[in-house]
Amino acid sequence: MPHAKWFIGGRLNVSENCLDRHLGTARENKAAIIFEGEPGDVRTITYKQLHFHVCRLAHVFENMGIQAGDRIAIYMPMVPEAVIAMLACARIGAVHTVVFGGFSPEALKDRINDCKARLVITADGGWRRGKIVELKAAVDKALENTPTVHSVLVLRRCGNPVQMKEGRDIWWHEAWEGAPNQHKAKAFDSEHPLFILYTSGSTGKPKGVLHTSAGYLLGCKMSAHYVFDIKDSDLYWCTADIGWITGHSYVVYGLMSNGATMLIYEGAPNHPQPDRFWRMVDRHGVTILYTAPTAIRAFMRWGDNYVLRHRLDSLRLLGSVGEPINPEAWMWYHTMIGKKRCPIVDTWWQTETGAIMITPLPGVTPLKPGSGTQPFFGVVPKVVDDQGKEVPRGSGGKLIITKPWPSMLRTLWGDDERYKKQYWSEFAGVYFTGDGARQDKDGYFWIVGRIDDVLNVSGHRIGTAEVESALVSHSSVAEAAAVGRPDELKGQALVCFVTLKAGIEASDKLKEELRSHVAHEIGALARPDYIRFASGLPKTRSGKIMRRILKEIATGGEIKGDTSTLEDFSVVASLQSDEE
């Protein structure tokens, strides 16, 4: 540690392990993907057909001169071609970096430049709440300043008009015209990079989490097999977008390597009505549903009537991921959706862990609502105090993982120092998750949430530092601090304290402008829920913003703990007195 390697000297091709291995077996003509677009269009793609698609795209990449190790950015709607693009990268050993379609052009540009991508794959647009999200236009904007990108491959999805730049942009359907549907996969080293996925950290810009091949594939294949109890007769639906790690591990790699049949949905859960998910469960006969607590809480709020008009009798297993699930939401999921018949697997893991780490095994582990229960095979987590000493059962502490595991991240792209510092320096020789947790008397793990400067808003990881730097990039802002406050629906809401430059007048209009500014810089998912103007921010004498105090103010609670290091208490008093 911290540079563990697995299956040294072994060679494999990850796409072959997801596709070719099923050819010539009974799975060959089985559906790999059942796709439903937001407008209601449905397509079924068998493993054999998926293999053809991936082979053809692999030829397209090779004809473009893409080589093993080159980076390819994928900025697409949730359509089968996004999966095809990922697998085609894996086939030729190119490293994909999928950027969630909700990120702004600015965020896309930063990610492309950080990993020096040569090719960008996108679509004209994607459907979301009945509207077209214009992805190609966003790419055009991002590419104004990305010297490494030579080509852009554009899928026609929505038919909206786009500008094609001569010599750079190619339509997907034109590029793969005539490409052979067979492609001999080369084997790559077990530690060959498979993908980079950017995620928020507590400082600076998003970090490029690097995953490699054999260990990663093992981690997600084995966990998908045991945690989702996948059978050939199942129709599995993970509602995550491929822009997140959940989409990588439990839509693409973990499920395809198991030969599972997957449902993929393009659009919003409440379009055209808040019963869209339940309509789809019945329409296709979904047996396993894996979704996030935020979605569950939204469904609860929309009302039981939208659920009760559907049978949901095909479901046999439910999953939860991304944030702690409150017992109330757990019970609702269990009774309203699972009809008390389906176990719930509450799976704790991270972009960095690659695969599920703490989870029940369905039908095996007795469940407790709100607990991820027990570590998965080979995972050795502990809850420790600030000195790294294990705390007694029932006490809270920091969650660490004491042994390397196959699907762990290998480094942060281009910044190994940050990798070592971020994960391996809090306690020598062990991985620090950034989460707080406790173990109960039965040894069950209860995750409290992030204890670093990372927020979890609607299951999306947002670094406070990123939001703050977006705010101060606005010409009116002198200083900003972002903190989380508990939110019934989103888990955490994003509260920002802002001091304005001299002479700038505070107004509601400016608040709105700042919220839009952050959305523009990062993406709508980071749009602050609340902005509060302040005449000053609470700081230590050395000038560090005391976020702990702001968190307490944002929550409306009392200021607890030590305030003796505060430079000027009157700042806090004035913040408290003009609460919203």
Binding residues for ligand PRX (CB under 6 A): 199, 245-246, 320-324, 346-351, 372, 433-435, 447, 449-450, 456, 461
Which residues on neighbouring strands pair with residue 208, listed in sequence order?
198
104 or 320, CB closer to ligand PRX? 320
- Which residue, among 205, 209, 208, has the nearest Cα to 465 in the 3D structure? 205
Least gap, CB of 242 to ligand PRX (angstroms): 13
User: Cα 19–22–26 angle (5° rounding)?
Assistant: 150
CB atoms inside a 10 Å sphere around CB 472: 15
Q: What angle do CA 226, 231, 232 make, to 5 degrees?
A: 145
Q: Identify whether the C-beta of residue 283 lies closer than 8 Å to the C-beta of residue 35.
A: no
Residue with Cβ nearer ligand PRX (352 or 468): 352
Question: What's the closest the beta carbon of residue 256 comes to ligand PRX, in angstroms?
Answer: 18
Least separation in angstroms between residue 490's CB and ligand PRX is 13
User: How many Å from the N-terminal Cα to the C-terminal Cα in the chain?
Assistant: 48
Query: In the bound complex, what is the minimum distance in angstroms from residue 557's beta carbon to ligand PRX?
Result: 21
Specify the residue, 248 or 515, whose C-beta has the smaller distance to ligand PRX. 248
Paired sense of beta strands 396-401 and 431-439, if any = antiparallel
Least separation in angstroms between CB 353 and ligand PRX = 8
Q: Which is nearer to ligand PRX, 47 or 349 (CB)?
A: 349
Structure tokens at 351: 């972009």
- Vertex 319: Cα angle to 95 and 22 (nearest 5): 50
Nearer to ligand PRX, 146 or 371 (CB): 371
> H or E stretch including 50?
helix 47-63
Q: Tokens for 486, please give them.
A: 């508990």
Nearer to ligand PRX, 151 or 249 (CB): 249
> Cβ of 441: how many Cβ atoms within 10 Å?
8
Tell me whether residue 151 or residue 456 sits nearer to ligand PRX (CB atom).
Answer: 456
Which residues are 411's β-sheet partners?
210
Least CB distance to ligand PRX at residue 293 (A): 8
**Minimal distance in Å, beta carbon 443 to ligand PRX?**
17
For ligand PRX, the closer CB: 278 or 348: 348
Nearer to ligand PRX, 117 or 357 (CB): 357
Minimum CB distance to ligand PRX, residue 279 (Å): 26
Distance CA 77, CA 86 (A): 13
What's the Cα-to-Cα distance from 20 to each of 280, 490, 528, 563, rounded to whole Å?
29, 41, 46, 62
**Strand blocks (E) in 376-490:** 381-384, 396-401, 411-412, 431-439, 445-450, 454-457, 460-463, 477-487
258 or 351: whose CB is closer to ligand PRX? 351
Q: Is 521 exposed, middle or buried (0-12, 13-18, 19+ CB in 10 A)?
A: buried
Of the pair 176, 432, the CB lying nearest ligand PRX is at 432
Cis before residue 272, ω within 30 degrees of 0?
A: yes
CA nearest neighbour of 322 among 260, 400, 381, 239 = 239
Residue facing ligand PRX at closest CB distance: 351
CB of 204 to ligand PRX, least distance (A): 17
Three-state secondary structure string covering 504-550: CCCCHHHHHHHHHHHHHHCEHHHCCCEEEECCCCCEECCCCECHHHH
Alpha-carbon torsion 391, 395, 399, 403, what sign? positive
- H/E stretch holding 16 reads helix 14-18
- Rounded to whole angstroms, the Cα distance separating 550 from 506 reads 19
Q: Residue 89 CB, nearest distance to ligand PRX (Å)?
A: 21
Q: Cβ of residue 449: shortest distance to ligand PRX, in angstroms?
A: 5
Smallest gap from Cβ 481 to ligand PRX, in A, equals: 21
Q: Which is nearer to ligand PRX, 278 or 349 (CB)?
A: 349
Q: Which of residues 259 and 459 has its CB atom nearest to ligand PRX in the complex?
A: 459
Q: Quote the least distance from Cβ 365 to ligand PRX, whole Å.
A: 14
505: CB partners within 8 A, 6+ apart: none
